[in-house]
Structure 1
Amino acid sequence: MSLSTCKNCHENISVTSKICSECGEERSAPKYQKIIIVTMILITAFGLWLIFSDNGANSRNIQQLSIQDGVAKDYSIINQVNYSSDNTERIKIYILSTAAIRKEDRAATVQTAAEAYLYSQRADEVTALLEISEIAAGKGNPLAIAIYTPNTCINGEDRCDEPMWQIESSDQRFTAQEITIMEKWYIFKDSYKEDHRKISEDGFRISIAKKIHIPAKDVSIPVIIRKKITG
């Protein structure tokens, strides 16, 4: 049986005894037990703080940033680009959503995509772009854009009061032919750029017209006009 010394009468007593059998002095818990108890309390308190602070932040953002009459539709992420700098995690994601047709629904969809991706990756800023097609992705002509920066101070102390959301959206709809023309335009432009060749816009139109068998006068790139939703 393991023994320890009573601090009061200095008699040997069992380490499991809570009271000294000789003098009746109560024994305090060993130092290592106190350390373990305090550590467990601190870990539990920290865990609860993380849970409630995250939940509070999420609910606060959702309440502040609901798009009027907008319903987020199913989407898929087709590409992502990390352009982080200065210890700030910034990510762009490109998404497709055939169900998001209305301006409000497109805005709600990019908002949902940006928020979900930011929290899943613990990034500082996420930009979500709703594209017409996978080929057109990243060409600077998205249907909707959402930039989500929960802590705008990362852009400078003088910008801390800026809105955490910047959202733009369009309600334009395009025919299958218009989308095909846009895709062919980007494909031709990229191929000529790689070969260091120059060609006029009329040359592009003629080349595309021959590819899809339509008059050259019918070849034009749709210009997407987005309206500011918030930010």
Structure 2
Amino acid sequence: MSYEEPVPADRGSARTLRERRVIESAAAELNGYLDLSYEIALLGRSCGGEGSGYDPGARLIELCYEDLTEQRELFETAGRRPAGEEAAAVMAETVFHEAGHALADALGLRFDNDRAEEDAADAFAALMLIREGPPGERTLLTAAQAYELAAAHTGPDPGTDEHAPPASRAAAHRCRLHAASPTRYPPAPTALPCPDTWTNALTPLLRQSPQGSA
């Protein structure tokens, strides 16, 4: 893992990412859970608007400083100031999401379409955070809240984005939290109840995590 020198506009976000050790903490969790046949690098950098992502050719996860800036502004606009902690939490979820893509690449998994892979990467991010117990659950809840705030700005139309609409991603994370810890997290406040399949899907994982159940 490494950090590139940020452009001037990204210096504050780069400092936050380093100080909160977002990349280092995520890497430690991933290394403790996965054993791949090759290494995947993690890099913090200024991306020039491209956004965080996984590069299969380089086997590299890029975490963009400006993404943290956007998340901090999203929470601060909603009245949560300062929002460095919230922004860092969302970036942690982002690292695990991109690691989901990296894992799918390493295992040669195939999906029916890009949306299906994005949904799987979201699920992997949620599972990695839930493995951490209450601290990870709080991080996942913050990510869900970020998607809810984004939904309020973007509306229900996802456009050409291969990801699910932000509101759907938020609801899915809340359902996963409810499945992992029903007492700490009540059913998601959505029009439809969480399906029973969330609980079934999380059961094998929770057996491995001493803090995974309420």
For the criterion TM > 0.5, the same-fold answer is: no
- Structure with greater Cα Rg: 1
More helix, by proportion: 2
Q: Relative contact order (alpha carbons < 8 A, sep ≥ 6): 1 or 2 greater?
A: 2
More strand, by proportion: 1
TM-score, length-scaled by structure 1: 0.25
TM-score, length-scaled by structure 2: 0.27
